[in-house]
Structure 1
Amino acid sequence: MLTIHNVSKQTGISVRTLRYYEEIGLLLPIAKTEGGHRIYGENELKMLQQIVFLKALGFKLKEIQTLINHSWEWEASLDHQLAFIAEEQRKLQQMKSAILGLKNASAIEGGLTEPLIQKYIKLSSQERDKKQAFRKQIFTATEIGLIQKLPNLNRNDPNSLEWIGLLGQLEQLRKESPEAHSVQCIIKRMMEKAEVEYKGNDTFLEKIWAIRRSPHKSEQMGLYALEEDFLHFIERAFHIYEAKNQTLGKPQT
């Protein structure tokens, strides 16, 4: 037999919690001493272990009470709990994607600002069906497959992170001349990536760049809209690179 304080020390469950379990009828002491101290036996300790285990699985106290009373359908209950966990995982993934997107947008823009947050909120609220419909109007079935290869603010894969990093570097160099060596080195890397990732799909890249140049179309497409002045800077730098190297294709994100 153990007093409530001994049970608390042995299990790590607070005295306050044990008293609450008694209050709601979930776990009753086997007896009370003349001094009013609650006494728990071996069966009560086993039941407490069950309660702790079921709580760890995510069950609510009312559900646990029914489960312990053996009137609950265990299979259906576990299936329900699995569905609940899957939904929570989906929500957490959405939260993770949103946080990554905001961090990556900040990396491109050089810091978090209220306009940036508002722009990202607007982008995030864009309905998936509308984005898909817009894409089907412009791209072929093969090109729609290539869209999945585009860098995405909401991902942290190496390809997306490198594109975001390159844009962030260009943003920091906007006051430089598009002809500057530092700018041209970044454009060169963009061209190398585009060549590797979209080789033979120049038409696709032309379409993406045309959409990129329009904030409204970028939004419809589901792309993070870059500032018009920044896009002009990139385009001027690209034309300089193209003139020097006589290559085709344009950088995109």
Structure 2
Amino acid sequence: MIHIKNLAEQTKITVRTLRYYEQIGLLVSSSKTEGGHRLYTEEDLQKLQQIQFYKNMGYRLSDIKEMLTDPEWNWSDGLANQLTFILEEQSRLNEMEQTLRALVSGIAVEEGNQEKAMQHLIKLSLQDKRGLDQYRKSTFTDAELGLWAKLPKMSVGNPESMEWIALVGLLTKYYTCKEPLSSPCVQNVIRRMLEKQEEEYGGQDAFIDKLWEMRKNPSASEQLGLYPIKMEVLEYMDQAYGIFISSVEQTSNEEGGCT
């Protein structure tokens, strides 16, 4: 016989949980010691392992009890129903993950202002997804839609998207702090943005220019379903970009004039 404490140690299940299983009739101990401690057989241990196995598949305790006691339990239907439930739950959790990632990204863009980020995300979530899709298809060619799919997303945790979001967050911070457009910290962000643009969208300048013009148009940006960025920040970014390009061209001309 196995003492309840030993059973708990073997299965990593608390004594309190084992007592609860007995209370609901899921796993009743075979006997007790003179002191009233529960004792279990090897068969009880196997049954407990079955309970753990089914719990790990997402079954409720009430379902497990029925599965173990009802000789007419339909395993094919039961497993098929559970698989459907798990897939639906998986989809729900994926949506929750994307929402949480989007909120984390939004807070980064909004310099820690979680209320503003949440308001923007709530507004985006209420948009007509079919209408957004139709607008994009009417705006971009098939090739451009392929490039659109590669754009950084607030709800995705890949390194590329996270770096883009961090860079936008930095420019928002510099704008708020009135950092000069020509300062090294601002220009370094622009430089990195252009490096990433070349890495991910090299040779697609026409698409990038088209997207940027739409991004600077509040109405078009909203119709595309893009996360809203202050127009002042976008203008700040645009001006910083102009200074960076002028600096690169000037350096190139000076180098070209050397003999």
For the aligned pair, the TM-score class normalised by the smaller chain equals 0.7 to 0.9
Question: Does 2:237 correspond to 1:240?
Answer: no
Query: Cα distance, 1:133 vs. partner?
Result: 0.9
Match of 1:198 among 196, 201, 209: 201
The TM-score normalised by the length of structure 1 is 0.82
Separation in 2, partners of 1:74, 1:208 = 54
Residue 156 of structure 1 aligns with which residue?
157
- Cα 1:51–1:216 change in 2 (3 A) is same
After superposition, the Cα gap between the structure-2 partners of 1:165 and 1:9, relative to the gap in structure 1 and judged at 3 Å, is closer
C-alpha distance in structure 2 between counterparts of 1:6 and 1:100, whole Å:
43
Name 1:223's counterpart in structure 2: 226
Instruction: Report how far residue 154 of structure 1 moved.
Output: 1.2
Gaps of 5+ in 2: 251-259
Of 186, 194, 212, the match for 1:209: 212
Higher relative contact order (CA 8 A, sep 6+): 1
In the TM superposition, 1:13-162 aligns within 5 A as: 13-14=13-14, 16-30=16-30, 40-69=40-69, 70-162=71-163
| Consecutive unaligned residues in structure 1, runs of 5 or more | 248-253
Q: How many residues align?
A: 247
Tell me: CA distance 1:27–1:118, structure 2 relative to 1, closer, same or farther (3 Å): same
Root-mean-square deviation (CA, aligned residues, Å) is 2.9
2:253 corresponds in structure 1 to none
Q: Secondary structure at the match of 1:223?
A: coil
Deviations 1:186-218 (A, max 9, x none): 222222322333233333122211221133322
Provide the C-alpha distance between the structure 1 equivalents of 2:123 and 2:83, rounded to a whole number of angstroms. Answer: 33
Moved more, 5-14 or 213-222: 5-14
Letter in 1 for 2:81: H
| Identity between Structure 1 and Structure 2 (%) | 43
Superposition TM-score, scaled by structure 2 size: 0.80
- Looking at structure 2, the residues matched to 38 and 191 of structure 1 have their Cα atoms a distance apart, in angstroms, of 69
Task: Tell me, in whole angstroms, the C-alpha distance in 2 between the residues paired with 1:43 and 1:246.
Answer: 81
The whole-number CA distance in structure 2 between the counterparts of 1:26 and 1:74 is 19
Change (3 A) 1:9 1:111: closer
* Distance apart, 1:185 and its partner CA: 2.7
Deviating more after overlay: 162-171 vs 73-82: 73-82
